[in-house]
A = this chain, B = another copy of it.
């Protein structure tokens, strides 16, 4: 066990699932997904079954179940007899992800605007405050995670569970894409756009919400470097195309 402390150690929690309604594998999957979201585990990192099991104090059986779930969400890639690796979306995949988001999210924001309640407003404001706090603390990973949760929250307000699930997957993959292709620039425009979105929502202005969301997603894409090929491949095999 040479890597260590990339993720929360087993001593952080009771190592016994605190949510008895959930299976242990779901617990492990959540923890891993959060760590990936927050960029505490970087794309390309190998997730050995033994190692993960040791960290969380569970057997390989439950680790395998968790990894399979994450694989289905395309957060990790399973290679037969090789192991699990945090996914490294290609530039092509990155474009597709944001095209899908552009297709789903503006319309969802419009729906959300028509249904935003006072309670929703409070939740959104809390979210934005948390984003600001994370940025102020310099915790970029957490800020990225919270920023994604904001988009998911909008889908929740729209009361479209099926679409929300898709957006959840897209946000997760977006987190990987940001980790790979982010070029530092305007980090503040993010939460600014979220503020504008919230204003449109509470004003029940669906058209405005749709426009703001569309522009926000475009800004997001343009803050990435999707031109240069060969952006941060971790595995030597991928560098040279062997295997």
Contact = CB atoms under 8 A, between A and B. Distances in A.
Interface in A49-80: 64-65, 68-69, 72, 80
A163 B100 contact: yes
Q: Is the interface on chain A under 10, 10 to 19, 20 to 34, or 35 or more residues?
A: 20 to 34
A100 B162 contact: yes
A45 to B, nearest CB: 22
Contact of A100 (B21, B72, B166): B166
A68 B67 CA distance: 11
Nearest to A22: B80
Q: Which 5 A-B pairs have the closest CB atoms?
A: A96-B162, A72-B72, A100-B162, A100-B163, A166-B166
Interface of A: 21, 23, 64-65, 68-69, 72, 80, 93, 96-97, 99-100, 103-104, 107, 160-163, 166, 170
11 contacts: A21-B80, A65-B65, A68-B69, A93-B161, A96-B162, A97-B162, A99-B163, A100-B162, A100-B166, A103-B103, A103-B163
